[in-house]
Every structure is written in C-alpha cells, then in structure tokens.
Structure 1
Amino acid sequence: MAEALDQPSEARERLRQHFLGHEPSEQTSQWDALWKAGDFLPWDRGGPNPALIDILNDRRDLIGDPEIDAAQDSDSQKRKRALVPGCGKGYDVLLLASFGYDAVGLDVSESALEVCRKYAASDEIAGKYPVRDPALGKGDVKFVLGDFFKDNWVDEANEDWAVGNWDLIYDYTFLSALPPSLRPAWSGRMSDLLAANGILICLEFPTYKPPSTGGPPWALPPTVYLQHLSRPGEKIEYDEEGYVVESDKTNQMALKRIAHWQPERTHDVGKGTDWVSVWKHQQ
C-alpha cells in the first residue's frame, strides 16, 4: 500500500475499479492480489519521499533524536521505535533505520512483504540508506504481517513495541488507501499505539482531489486529519459532498497538531499540494 500514488487518470481509475464493490473487510485480499501480480503498482515511487528525509534531517526540534535520552535509557532499549503501517516495499522503514531508529514495517499483504524483504536483502539498496550517525549506527529492521487495527502482529514485532510504546509513527498513503468508514478506527488506533511522548508524522496526500472521485487513493484535505485526530475513535460528520464538517471539539484521546507546513521537497505527484503535519498526545 505504501509509497506515493502517482498515476495519470487512467491508472487511477483502474485502481479505483479494482476495489469498487468490495467491502472494507475484503480490502486485504485486493491489495495482496495487486502485489502478487506485480505488474500494476502505481503507488510505488522507487524510494522514500524526500519530505520525510528532510524532516529526519532538519526537524529534530519537532521530532527529537532517534536515541533515547540518557536520563531515560535502559539496558534493554537504546533507540526509539518507529512504525510504518502499510509499509509497501519498505523504503521508509529502511530510511528510519538508517537514521538510528529501530523500525518496523507493517502490512496486511504477505506478497508485499515478500517484495520488501527481497528488496531489503538485495544489492539494489547499496548506498541508498547510509548510516546518518556513525556513533549510533543503524537501527534494527523488521517487516511484519498483520492488521493495523488488531494485535495479531504484536508478538512478531516484540510485545513491548505494541500499544502505547511507539516513539514515532509515519503515515504516508496509508490513510488514503483506507475506505473513509475506517477513519475513526484509524485515528483511535494511532492514539492508542503512540507513546506518551511519541510523535506521529502524517504526509498528507492527496489533498487536491474532490471526495466525489472515490478511491483509493481517497481524498484527504488537511481538515480530515485535523478532525479525526482531534477526536480519535469518534464518528466524524461529513456533508453531502463528502467534505468533513469542521468542529473545535476534542476528546480524551486527542492528538494535538504541533506543526503543519507544505514541504519544499516531495514526490512529483504531490508538489504544491502535499502537507506535513506533526502530532503528539495532549499533555
């Protein structure tokens, strides 16, 4: 599911038709079929989004360092833990590990994970993910099969990496791959998984589409992120045209948006329309 969904209208319509008429419970098999066939992967951009690279390099003021603060360090944990749901071919997972995070890529498609494991073990990645901090070195990398909304992947990821223990979560094209009916569950799960001092990074895409065009990728203007993450787990009202109805309400699970900007660099498909939002729990 993961990287960018850069496709002309013909390919976008082909992708939409592939999912048309299938219930949310049938999404897993539909994604797996695309990965298994391997000849139509319009979301795959061949590498991580430049916006994420720039965030990891330049915005430590927001996201902190990949190493646990010495005052909080323990014998069992030195690095922060990062989760990439809908990891696709694994570009973002390898990038986060190169910055020093212990990174887990999660996907519901076994075929996708077969592809990303082969990629991670191939000569193709030589020089693409260099160690950013020689003193810290690379973090561990795991690719795990599982449903983001369930705990069926917890043991493989390591039990203490599950609910409430993720220091960084990155969402790019994961939410846009989900039917809108799953957005309350998405926001609730993000709030549950994120550590007390953790950071959620959302690269908001596609912000430019009218909701009437359907998906995937489903239209995601910034207000969708703001309304759902302000009230995780709650059903949010939409108008007749499919646009979210804005409200100032929050709930006890709310995540607070601490930064929001348009990145200088991103994949071509999102230039001029992508946004970055950074979130944390309300203290």
Structure 2
Amino acid sequence: MQTNINPKEVQAHLSQYKGDKYVDGWASLWDKGDNLPWDRGFPNPALEDTLVKQRPTIGAPLATDAQGQSYRRKALVPGCGRGVDVLLLASFGFDAYGLEYSAAAIEACKKEENDNASWYRVRDQTVGTGKVTWIQGDFFDNAWLQNIGVPLNGFDIIYDYTFFCALDPSMRPKWALRQTQLLSPSPAGNLICLEFPRHKDPQSAGPPYASSSEAYMAHLSHPGEEIPYDNGVVKHEPLRAPSKDGLERVAYWKPERTHEVGQGENGVIHDRVSIWRRRN
C-alpha cells in the first residue's frame, strides 16, 4: 500500500540528516512509501522538447568512435526517482542510466519500466531504443561507476531536474564539482539542467530549495568553490573569471511546456532550461 507523504513531512524528516547523511534521509522516505510529493508520474515535457529541438546542440544518440564503430551515447539521471526521465532518454536512443541511493527507489524504477513500457515508445525506428540500467549508489561516490564499468568523465548527457534543488545549498559546491568529474569532454558532454524552483521564496524551507538561474551559473562556473549567499540569494560580487575547470553555459531558454509545479498564476512558466559543457 502506498503512503502519501506531504512536503512539510519531507522537510521535517530531512532536517535530521545533515551533510553526507542526506542519502540516508531520502532512502528512509522511499522506505516509508513510494508515493512522494516530487513525483509527477511522467517525464517533464520540457525534457522531451529539449531532446527534439536541441538535438543540434546535444548531439544524436548514436556516434562513431575513432575506429569507425558506432556506439550509443550514455545519459545519466542522478536522483532519478521513479525513473521516468531515464526511460524517456532510452526511448530517444541513448543508453540511459538511472541512479538512486535507495533500494526501494530502484524497485520503483523497475516497476515503472515493466508497467508502462508502451508509453516510452521508440522515437526513431532507425535509431531504436537504448539500454536502461538502474544503479543503486551515492552520486558523490565512485563505487557505482566501477560497478557498471563507466569511467570518470564517461557520460555524454547528464540530466538534472529535481536533484540540485533537493540538496541542502551547502552541498552545491560539491554537486557542481561532481558534474565536472562525470561529464564527457566538450562538445560531446552536455549537462541539461531544468532549473526549478526559480520562483520560490529563497528564505523558505526546503527541499525543494529555491534555485535561481544565478545559483546554477555561480556554482557551475566555479565548481567546488564556496559561493556566498545573502538570505538565500547568491550574493553579487565583483566580476571574477570563471574557473578553468568550470562549465560554460551554451544554451538557455524558457521552455514552452513544463510541469505545473514550475508554473505560476495563469500558467506563467517560471522554469528555465540550460545546457552546460566543460570548458575547452
């Protein structure tokens, strides 16, 4: 039997798990029930539109190596929840990897794959579908990479929607640094961020924590560095050069469609989509 868990319960529960213990907090929520408030039941249409309209930017799901052999590019969704975005990426032809710390979450992913396979139809018969791999592990640890045989800097696509905003803001420098460690070299490697919730009061409790476009820019431009905040807002400082190890934003736009939680009154869309690459 599923247990409904409301956002305030989530916030109160996770407040007991500080720093690296955050994974245990999320895992215990999955153990309580898999009907969680951040689950919309289907992929964000903004991701679907990105995979269709931004293909010239992110590249095709099939590529050719130096020996002339064709291979499928790898896509990672950290904190994938029920795995709907992973299955969507696979339907477009990418070998898609869904990462969750919780064993219960992994079981929910497998159930989604088995129960709703017809929804994730093949998008291009000439390309076919990619392989789906569910991984139990901690995003910040290398053990899961070794388990699946993927090296550092081995993912061509990383999709981040409700992962950045789920982490306590104190973990954002570590989050940004980890993206640089997992993302393939430019231009093959593209980090797709669906920026949410941009319209939330930055001083209100999380998760989800208010996540402005300025926060994504500050952290991804300076991965691993502490970024000053003032009352939950990135503090404006004298202009400084981006880190040589940072990511650069190569595309940024307001999506035509997104989940209702990313919209305000009268359907005004607050979400933004950004694409990032390693600096050459």
Superposed pair shares fold, TM > 0.5: yes
**Aligned partners of 2:67, 2:166: CA distance in 1, in Å?**
37
Calculate the aligned-residue CA RMSD, in Å: 1.8
Structure 2 residue matching 1:51: 3-state secondary structure:
helix
**Aligned partners of 1:71, 1:91: CA distance in 2, in Å?**
29
Q: CA deviation at 1:165?
A: 1.4
**Aligned partners of 1:20, 1:173: CA distance in 2, in Å?**
18
Q: CA deviation at 1:282?
A: 1.4
Distance 1:21 1:129, change over 3 A: same
After the TM superposition, which parts of structure 1 deviate over 4 Å for at least 4 consecutive aligned residues? Answer: 71-75
1:148 aligns with 2:171: no
1:249 pairs, out of 230, 234, 241, with: 241
**Aligned partners of 1:135, 1:206: CA distance in 2, in Å?**
37
Letter in 2 for 1:274: D
5+ residue gaps, structure 1: 1-6
1:188 pairs, out of 177, 190, 194, with: 177
**Aligned partners of 1:113, 1:282: CA distance in 2, in Å?**
34
Distance 1:71 1:152, change over 3 A: closer
Letter in 1 for 2:76: L
Structure 2 residue matching 1:103: 3-state secondary structure:
strand
1:19-41 Cα distance to aligned partner (Å, 9 max, x none): 12321232222211221221650
Aligned counterparts, 1:84-95, within 5 A = 84-95=77-88
**Aligned partners of 2:96, 2:67: CA distance in 1, in Å?**
18
Partner of 2:107: 114
1:49-78 Cα distance to aligned partner (Å, 9 max, x none): 00000011111121111111x464654x61
Partner of 2:266: none
Does the CA-based 8 Å contact 1:89-1:116 persist in structure 2? yes
Q: CA deviation at 1:11?
A: 3.2
Aligned counterparts, 1:93-104, within 5 A = 93-104=86-97
Range with bigger deviation, 244-253 or 77-86: 244-253
Does the CA-based 8 Å contact 1:34-1:40 persist in structure 2? no
1:93-142 Cα distance to aligned partner (Å, 9 max, x none): 111111010110011111111111122122xx142111111122111100
**Aligned partners of 1:186, 1:249: CA distance in 2, in Å?**
20
Partner of 1:279: 276
1:128 pairs, out of 105, 116, 119, with: 119
2:33 pairs, out of 24, 32, 38, with: 38
Does the CA-based 8 Å contact 1:102-1:140 persist in structure 2? yes
**Aligned partners of 1:131, 1:149: CA distance in 2, in Å?**
32
Aligned counterparts, 1:150-165, within 5 A = 150-158=141-149, 161-165=150-154
Structure 2 residue matching 1:30: 3-state secondary structure:
helix
**Aligned partners of 2:248, 2:271: CA distance in 1, in Å?**
20
Aligned length: 268
Letter in 2 for 1:277: S
**Aligned partners of 2:147, 2:217: CA distance in 1, in Å?**
32
Structure 2 residue matching 1:144: 3-state secondary structure:
strand
Letter in 2 for 1:54: D
**Aligned partners of 1:61, 1:53: CA distance in 2, in Å?**
14
Aligned counterparts, 1:228-247, within 5 A = 228-239=219-230, 241-246=231-236, 247=239
Range with bigger deviation, 219-228 or 29-38: 29-38
Percent of residue pairs bearing the same amino acid type: 45
Higher relative contact order (CA 8 A, sep 6+): 1
5+ residue gaps, structure 2: 264-268
Structure 2 residue matching 1:259: 3-state secondary structure:
strand
Partner of 1:209: 200
TM-score normalised to the size of structure 1?
Answer: 0.90
1:171-215 Cα distance to aligned partner (Å, 9 max, x none): 000011111111011000101111012000000001111221121
Q: CA deviation at 1:17?
A: 1.2
Distance 1:105 1:39, change over 3 A: closer
1:211-256 Cα distance to aligned partner (Å, 9 max, x none): 21121111101100000000011111112x1211244431121111
